[in-house]
Structure 1
Amino acid sequence: MRLVIAGSLLAEAVVVGFLVNASDPHVLYAAAAPLFGNWQPHVGPGTPAAVLIAFLVVAKGPELARHRFALPIAYAAATAFTLSLALVDGWDRFVTRLTTDDEYLHEVPGVTDVPAMLRGFAARIPDFQPDSWTTHVSGHPPGALLTFVGLDRIGLGGGAAASLFCVLAGSLVVVAIPKAIGDNAVLPFLVLFPGAVWVGASADGMFMGIAAVGIYLLTRWPLLGGIVLGWCLFLSYGLVLLAPLALVAVWRKEDLVRRIGLAAVGVLAVVVAFAVAGFWWFEGYELVQVRYYQGIADTRPYWYWVWANLAALVLVIGPAGIKGLGRDKWVLAAAVAILAADLSGLSKAETERIWLPFAVWLLVGTAKLDRRWLTAQALTALAVNHLVLTNW
């Protein structure tokens, strides 16, 4: 039944999106609504590799999950699958996705004084100023920009390095999530995660991997996990919604208070460090809401996106993700985060990449599914990537 409901929701979102776009293309600002991209069937140099990797994972995935070196093999497979999907659109497109006028790398050359940048970061968030940040830099705390500045400073500047870094960081979910939940059976489903279409290459893919590592670390070393999740707060304001997943990670009856306390100390250490450096998270959050409604978000209608976002999520987690939804604590925590983001009105379109850090945890429920569902996941990823020219 849930698959029928999900399929119906997706079909309705596509039809309504088509009709709205036919009437006025400057309402949804998403030509392939509910996805941000354009309907454009195509193949590319990554097609043969993507098909081959999908076939091998479907054929050998369950055995892979029991292999002695399951985690490194899965990480390599996830990286290869994500890269091959990205290269369906061609190398040139892959290496320029983070270099456009709206993206992070556009601002990297101008950051010659990091302390000064942090002190003046908030003032440059609102639009229509001579020195306003680009769309993506203004929409995130300074940690995201600092990441790419850091890569540049160590000699890994440019679009190719940035895009590859996002893929490598994003693929860490195939290691972090099985370790966090204590079950490798989910591995092949994480490798063939349809959301990989938007990991290669978007900064949100990188956020997804780092957030998953932070959640895993909370289950073992709460202080260290808190520090990583504190850093996540400065990658994206929306990652504050990792809180339900973080609570699940630290939940232990025998020492719950101590674990929460250690995690909180880790988070606060990062928040204080940024505050001392000149950036106050809450000021940035207030100003980013101003910037949000200075752009196309002011036009995109809440009445459509509040449910069409969930239709896009159907494609991100795939049929197996829908089938595996249940009462698992990790799934429920991720669902709470997603619903909060959706109802906030600050997630209108493009959630197929923005919600990656939460959506990937919905796959925890796939651990008990058989090989047929792996096939469905592979077909979903391949179909989306070959039918839609996505913006990421």
Structure 2
Amino acid sequence: MTVTRVRREATGGEGEARRAGRAGWVAAAVWAAGIAAAFAVGWQLRRAGLATEDALPPLHARLRGHPLTWPVLPAVAVAAALVAALPALAARLPWRVLLLAAWASCAAWTVALAAADGPAALARPLDAPTEYPAGLAQVRPDPLDWIATFTDRLGGYTTHVRGHPPLPTLALWALERAGLGGTAWAAALIVAAGTSAVAAIAVTVRCVAGEAAARSAVPFLALAPLAVWVATAMDAFFLAVAAWGTALLAMSVRSARPVIAAAAGGLLLGCVPYLSYGLLPLFAVPAAVVLLRRPPVRALVAAAVGSAVVPAAFTALGFWWPDGVRATLDTYLVSRGSAQRSYAYFAFGNLAVLGLLTGPAVAHALPRTAAALWRAARSRTALPGACALAGAALLGVLVLDASGVTKGEVERIWVPFAAWLLVAAPPGHRRRGWLAAQAATALTVQALVLSPW
């Protein structure tokens, strides 16, 4: 009887694995078809004169006149090396060394992709008159007055300054005050911080799902298609702040000093709404960490106190966050920019862009992830940690998409969300094949598309 039961369970497990594999391939096919459809519909809308804000909807970019060939070869070489080496490194390196190796690998991949457009490509996006550095001249005379009058004078700021709370601009002002002025240093900060999120997310996965799951996720985190937009969009900096805040919160459970780790995590998470108004749904990820890890009460209190520091400071200095939201919405509605984009088209097109950010490996893994979450919910058992993190990030994206707050330009806006979806990428014997597919996605985008970021 026992032998029969074991055989039945083994057969059932094999059948379930086959069904999951078939569902994964169907999801990968839907991924490819959805992206192709989004670009085809966007092209038709452009022809009809109904989509004039973007040259290549759903991306805020344009198609290159001539695809990159030789300039992209260094990135191809980096990708080939990482596809070959990362799975073995993830399995064998000591944990702390692996985190450094993952950070270095992601930085090399990101820089190699950006450098295909020339040595100055990393800093060039930040030289645009619409970017944050162009708004620093208004901060320099009196930063405190600039904060206090930020909402009142919003209409006179550059596009990205008026579209966000004051903290991103103040971060670049502080970098300049430290003697590291100029867009080259700003680009270095963005790339270094954004790529460090690989380590932060791996640490979080290890805390909530175990070291095996974290090691399995590291290659996909380091060699992600979203690296195309990490250099150099300020949203990569936002990703790092949120990811390290979440990691510190997760670490507070097993830390020797849980109050300090939780307070530091709360401090970083308290910065998140003051970096971008659209990042509120990202709090689903640290909320999932709290549900999964159940930190001690004193750690939760410390995190709450830490998270109140930045809001209290900005409020005391004269910036009231709800007023900033309202003023930004007003400038958004009267502009000729993204407010004029079609809600119906971008509700669909934005998800296609999310597919480009995360790649076919995540699409293949989504049915398995959804099934794991459904089984846990139905049986009222513990949620699988990595799946829960990916599900929380996806929930945040869907909320933003349905709200219409993000219509277009999500290739940068959704970077802080998309990075967490990568932890759902498929493990197993086909890992190098899926890694190669991830790299090919990024290389194809870099070779064909010219993005302002």
TM-score tier, shorter chain, comes to over 0.9
Pairwise CA distance, 1:254: 5.5
Deviation per CA, 1:342-381: give whole Å up to 9, x if none: 1111100010110110111001112624111000000001
Pairwise CA distance, 1:156: 1.3
Q: Which residue of 2 aligns with 1:306?
A: 347
Deviation per CA, 1:188-235: give whole Å up to 9, x if none: 111111001001011011111221111101112222111001112211
Structure 2 residue identity aligned to 1:95: A
Number of residues of Structure 1 aligned to a counterpart in Structure 2: 386
Pairwise CA distance, 1:100: 1.4
Q: Which residue of 1 aligns with 2:7?
A: none
Pairwise CA distance, 1:250: 2.1
Deviation per CA, 1:212-267: give whole Å up to 9, x if none: 11110111222211100111221111121221101112235765654443322211
Q: Which residue of 2 aligns with 1:346?
A: 405
Q: Which residue of 2 aligns with 1:365?
A: 424
Greater Cα offset, 209-218 or 365-374:
365-374
Give the Cα–Cα distance (whole angstroms) in 2 for the partners of residues 46 and 164 of structure 1: 21
Query: In 2 relative to 1, CA 202–34 (structure 1 residues): closer, same or farther, beyond 3 Å?
Result: same
Query: In 2 relative to 1, CA 255–177 (structure 1 residues): closer, same or farther, beyond 3 Å?
Result: closer
Q: Which of 302, 309, 329 is residue 388 of structure 2 equivalent to?
A: 329
Q: Which residue of 1 aligns with 2:356?
A: 315
Pairwise CA distance, 1:94: 2.7
Q: Which residue of 2 aligns with 1:16?
A: 41
Deviation per CA, 1:291-313: give whole Å up to 9, x if none: 22122122111011011000111
- Checking the alignment, whether the CA contact within 8 Å between 2:221 and 2:422 is kept in structure 1 is yes
Give the Cα–Cα distance (whole angstroms) in 2 for the partners of residues 300 and 278 of structure 1: 33
Q: Which residue of 2 aligns with 1:190?
A: 221
- Checking the alignment, whether the CA contact within 8 Å between 1:89 and 1:389 is kept in structure 2 is no
Q: Which of 152, 156, 181 is residue 123 of structure 1 equivalent to?
A: 152
Q: Which residue of 2 aligns with 1:147?
A: 171
Unaligned runs of 5+ in 2: 1-25, 207-213, 252-260, 374-386
- TM-score by structure 1 length? 0.94
Choose 1 or 2 for highest CA Rg. Answer: 2
Unaligned runs of 5+ in 1: none
Structure with the bigger percentage of helix = 2
Deviation per CA, 1:108-127: give whole Å up to 9, x if none: 123121111110111122x3
Q: Which residue of 2 aligns with 1:114?
A: 143
Q: Which residue of 2 aligns with 1:61?
A: 86
Q: Which of 205, 227, 237 is residue 206 of structure 1 equivalent to?
A: 237
- Checking the alignment, whether the CA contact within 8 Å between 1:233 and 1:240 is kept in structure 2 is yes
Give the Cα–Cα distance (whole angstroms) in 2 for the partners of residues 37 and 193 of structure 1: 20
- TM-score by structure 2 length? 0.82
RMSD value over aligned CA atoms? 1.7
Deviation per CA, 1:139-170: give whole Å up to 9, x if none: 11100000111111112111111112111110
Structure 2 residue identity aligned to 1:83: V
Greater Cα offset, 217-226 or 174-183:
217-226
Map residues 223-372 of structure 1 onto 2, 5 A cutoff. 223-251=263-291, 255=295, 257-295=297-335, 296-325=337-366, 326=369, 327=373, 328-366=387-425, 368-369=427-428, 370-372=431-433
Pairwise CA distance, 1:283: 1.1
- Checking the alignment, whether the CA contact within 8 Å between 1:192 and 1:381 is kept in structure 2 is no
Give the Cα–Cα distance (whole angstroms) in 1 for the partners of residues 69 and 138 of structure 2: 35
